[in-house]
């Protein structure tokens, strides 16, 4: 069941892309900081968030 709505999804994908850019701009091992973006991108694209599910939150208007 989807639990990530429209605005939440857009914010997650934009934040994920912004953090992914760190992978290309930072030198050395600091590039690994860009991997923080993966959970944001995955949850934004799949529209499912395990943390939202555990907390009982649902930002998706369509049920």
63 pLDDT higher than 70: no
* Domain locations along the chain: 6-55
pTM equals 0.83
In Å, how far from its chain's centre is CA 30? 20
Q: Which two tokens stand for residue 58?
A: 């649902």
Distance, in Å, from the CA atom of 35 to the CA atom of 44, rounded to the nearest integer, reads: 15
Q: Which two tokens stand for residue 1?
A: 């069941």
User: pLDDT digit string (tens) for 4-44?
Assistant: 999 999 999 999 999 999 888 999 888 888 899 999 999 99
CB 39 within 8 A of CB 48: no
């Amino acid at each position: 069941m989807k639990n990530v709505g429209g605005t939440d999804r857009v914010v997650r994908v934009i934040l994920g892309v912004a953090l992914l850019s760190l992978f290309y701009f930072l030198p050395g091992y600091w590039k690994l900081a860009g991997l923080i973006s993966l959970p944001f991108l995955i949850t934004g694209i799949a529209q499912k968030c395990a943390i939202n599910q555990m907390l009982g939150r649902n930002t998706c208007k369509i049920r």
